[in-house]
Amino acid sequence: MKKKWWHEKIGYQIYPKSFLDTNGDGVGDLTGVIEKLPYLEQLGVDILWLSPVYPSPMVDNGYDISDYENIDPRFGTLEDMDRLIAEAKKREMYILMDLVVNHCSDEHEWFQQAIKDPDGKYGNFFYIRDKKDDKAPCNWRSYFGGPVWEELPGHPDKQYLHVFHKKQPDLNWENPEVREEVYKNIRWWMEKGLGGFRIDAIINIKKKLPFSDYPADRADGLCSVGRMLEEAEGIGEFLGEMAEKCFHPYDAFTVGEVFNEKEDEIKDFIGENGYFSSMFDFEETCYGKSEDGWYASKPYLTPEEYKKCIFHTQKKIGDTGMISNIIENHDEPRGVCHYISPEDRCPDSRKLLAGVYFLLKGIPFIYQGQEIGMENMEFTSMDQIDDISTIDEYQVALRAGCSEKEALDAASAFSRDNARTPVQWSAEKNAGFSEGEPWLGVNPNYKEINVKSQLTDSDSLLSFYKKLTALRKAPEYKETLVYGTFAPYQEEQKNLIAYTRNGEKNLLILGNMQAQSQKVSLPGEVKEVLLNNQKAVEITEKEIILKPYQFIVLETAV
Ligand code: GLC
Ligand code: CA
């Protein structure tokens, strides 16, 4: 694999609204991010992805952008952003912004112009169609519920397409003028010294045209957009053009939010000269999610299910490129609640999960608060929910016949707000997030789980994450952990998640995800124990006995 500057880096996702509020308005801000750079540097992360901070009406918390070349005053100013980029650079850290270009906000100037003159230049920036016999052009269901078609304001005879919320009209990527505008915005940011972008919902930019119906997959008579995406061909032309015009000239690091990619396309996406540097692995994220909705989905994975997912991705990617590995992001439940069953949840199993995903081949990303093991919120009422997707899924559950309690349980297990509660910095007021009233309720467990107490505890999850980042960067092991091959180890052994990484060194990563000890045979002589989430190690010549929830990294002779 040809070496790139970002291969050795470690990612960290910031959801600015919930990170740190420095002016008491209850909303996190860029100054808050700048203030915590020393903390992030100590943690050992160096690529910081910021969820959107552009001006936005905030129906989808910034994923509805009304101006691509500015900063929302809630978060600060363009000068703050420049300062953040510069301060990060001093610490050899890189800033990624979120590139949300499948759609913009309906309050964006382009859409406002389209409303004024649907037949003019900006009408063609969107998918606007005449209503025929009061029928929509197709029966796709938007990701946030309801049909993807909405009446164009002021034009009862016309409708526009939105695969997300109706306040997020889709941009017409078939129109070269749209693409040029998007590229111009990207280059404008790259010129400011960004490290690159995380690329939102990008797989949706290519629609299967002309619009047509698919068999309904729920009682609402609609069909998931995903069904259409399976048949949409030719996204590569757009992505290749964007990479060539915007990313390659700057040697940018880009990580795509790519779902539904076809297996033979992986090389085009993240191979050498791929459209993106990397893309997230969502195999375990998607596992157990039902087409019917959250109420019918699995609230957590068993160790065997989790292993199956991560190993499948690792084998599939091989040496083709660098995948990005996560256990959390702003759209998912907290990792410790989703990938560890309630019976198995304890300090050691949390470290085990951290270690297992972090040392896989690829770029590890940590989501804010994950490093201290922040947990899902136990929502007791829908009034505590802000997220549009959760509000929709609650209704989906009720319509499917769930009781209010069951619908709320489903919402709680999967709500995107689980990951969006304010970061728990300390045991003080509002978890040290804000002097004012936080925009979203703080998780009541902040007195037990917070950064301040874990910083001084050498046995904390935070300290363990620091050991992981240090190991991945250690001069003797870096080459192996970044470029070394991945191979499953004793894959059939139940509740054992084990793999090898072989390069300049031979590393064996072992995790015993059960409440009983288990014996594992060793491939050969053990040279050194590099990391252990417990004190003892029980190794004989040919075997190791792993204690309940023990996680261990060994350097072996072969
Ligand atoms: C992506 C984002 C999500 C957002 C959606 C629409 O999936 O991660 O938060 O709601 O795109 O932009
Ligand atoms: Ca603020």
Per-residue pLDDT band for 237 (boundaries 50, 70, 90) equals very high
* Partners of 141 in the β-ladder: 147, 224
Q: Is 201 in the pocket of ligand 1 (CB under 6 A)?
A: yes
pLDDT at site 431: 98
pLDDT at site 149: 98
pLDDT at site 500: 98
pLDDT per residue over 107-146, tens digit each?
A: 999 999 999 999 999 999 999 999 988 889 999 999 999 9
**Least distant ligand from the CA of 435:** 2
Nearest ligand 1 atom, CA 100 = 12
pLDDT per residue over 403-433, tens digit each?
A: 999 999 999 999 999 999 999 999 999 999 9
pLDDT for 541 beyond 90: no
Q: Write down the pTM of the prediction.
A: 0.98
Residue 60 annotated among the catalytic residues of the structure? no
pLDDT at site 260: 79
Phi and psi of 83, rounded to 5°? -65, -40
Residue 82 annotated among the catalytic residues of the structure? no
Going from the Cα of 257 to the center of ligand 1, the distance in angstroms, rounded, reads 9
pLDDT per residue over 273-321, tens digit each?
A: 999 999 999 999 999 999 999 999 999 999 999 999 999 999 999 999 9
Under 8 Å between Cβ of 246 and 276: no
pLDDT at site 50: 98
**Least distant ligand from the CA of 18:** 2
Nearest ligand 1 atom, CA 63 = 12
pLDDT at site 135: 87
Q: Is 100 in the pocket of ligand 1 (CB under 6 A)?
A: yes
pLDDT at site 263: 82
pLDDT at site 432: 98
pLDDT at site 485: 98
Going from the Cα of 480 to the center of ligand 2, the distance in angstroms, rounded, reads 42
Which among 21, 72, 106, 200 is annotated as catalytic?
200
Reported for 283-286, long-range contacts at CB under 8 A and 24+ positions apart, including other chains, are 283/309, 283/310, 283/312, 283/313, 284/309, 284/310, 284/327, 284/339, 285/326, 285/332, 286/259
Per-residue pLDDT band for 385 (boundaries 50, 70, 90) equals very high
Going from the Cα of 16 to the center of ligand 2, the distance in angstroms, rounded, reads 9
pLDDT per residue over 466-502, tens digit each?
A: 999 999 999 999 999 999 999 999 999 999 999 999 9
pLDDT for 67 beyond 90: yes
Helices H / strands E in the chain, number of each: 17, 21
pLDDT for 402 beyond 90: yes
Per-residue pLDDT band for 262 (boundaries 50, 70, 90) equals confident
Q: What is the mean pLDDT of the chain?
A: 97
Going from the Cα of 32 to the center of ligand 2, the distance in angstroms, rounded, reads 8
pLDDT for 55 beyond 90: yes
Q: For residue 67, count CB atoms less than 10 angstroms from its CB and return exposed for 0-12, middle for 13-18, buried for 19 or more.
A: middle
